Amino acid sequence: MQVELRILKYFLTVAREENITRAANLLHVTQPTLSRQLMQLEDELGVKLFCRSKHRITLTDEGLLLKRRAQEITELAERTTREVSRSSENLMGEIAIGCAEASSISVLAGLMNYFRQKYPLVHYTLYSGIADDIKERIENGLLDIAFLTEPVDISKYGFVRLPHKEEWGVLIRKDSPLAEKQAVMPQDLLGIPLLMPKRGLVKNELASWFGSLNDRMDFAVNYTMLMNAAVMVHSGFGAAPGHKQCGTDFYDDLRFMPLAPPLATGCVLAWKKSQRQAPAVEEFISSAHSYVLGISGN
């Protein structure tokens, strides 16, 4: 069974508007036509997608799942259209980049600026998330390039390693007793609720740093974005291990404490090496190699 892209766009419009009449007006179709298309979609899929009331339409669990997939499919279709309709004389198009949190993103920003000077018709879309989410979107064709913090499995990817290391530490309040130290050691964190990065590979890295004390730590919260963890620490909830790249920038009462022994990890730009890339992406990858080599001083 195949669902037309047009029908998926109809479905997404109704899901957004939660009203058949408003959706029909936006789509420039009649209300009976739109209702019939949606009922046919439910019949083809064999599931109920909408809960209908007198004044509002909401999605069922199956409808929510279809909404997620339909958004991915329509986004991919639109990106593909933009790529194949590029000018034959000037490099143009869109490069979708997934970005993790790290101070080395300044290298990516410099690369993007350098590339745009040469190719001003190329535009970017940035998606923020953790490495696992970014890699999934690359696999689904929704992203072209991934800016990832290590440790990360990139065995299936082409990549260029960035020259700077990310220093790890603990985000605390300035009125914490830990703020009087020069650096934080594993034993200093015993009895303190910890907000931990969600990624498994990162947890393993930190477990090695905690050593024999790992099983005695109070791992209270898992977080994906350190900026959100900073809000919790600011409110007085524990401490958050993470990179030295945000938190203190948003709250004057927070302090980043380095670890002892020190811990530092790298960052990479990665892409799928098993597929043909759009011309703009291929040129961006080529430029990434030369740009990073240049700033590394090699």
> Mind listing the pLDDT tens digit of every residue in the chain (298 residues)?
567 888 888 889 999 888 888 888 888 888 888 888 888 888 888 899 988 887 788 899 998 999 988 888 888 777 676 655 554 347 888 999 999 988 889 999 999 999 999 999 999 999 999 898 999 999 888 999 999 999 999 998 999 999 989 999 999 999 999 999 999 999 999 999 999 999 999 999 999 999 999 999 999 999 988 888 999 999 999 999 998 765 556 678 999 999 999 999 999 999 998 777 889 999 999 999 999 988 876 5
Q: Report yes or no: 11 and 41 within 8 Å, Cβ to Cβ.
A: yes
DSSP label of 129:
-
Tokens 């329509």 map to which residue? Answer: 74
Residue 136 parent element (H or E): helix 131-139
Q: CB under 8 Å to 125, separation ≥6 — which residues?
A: 94, 95, 96, 97
Beta bridge partners of 166: 265
Tell me what pLDDT residue 83 has. Answer: 59
Centre a 10 Å sphere on the Cβ of residue 61 and count the other Cβ atoms it contains. 10
Q: pTM for the whole thing?
A: 0.68
Q: Report yes or no: 172 and 189 within 8 Å, Cβ to Cβ.
A: no
Q: CB under 8 Å to 171, separation ≥6 — which residues?
A: 226, 229, 230, 233, 239, 240, 241, 242, 247, 248, 254, 255, 256, 257
Residue 210 phi/psi, 5° resolution?
A: -65, -30
Cα–Cα distance list, 218 to 60, 239, 277 (Å): 38, 10, 45
Write the single-letter amino acid at 200.
Answer: G
Q: What is the percent of the chain where pLDDT is above 90?
A: 54
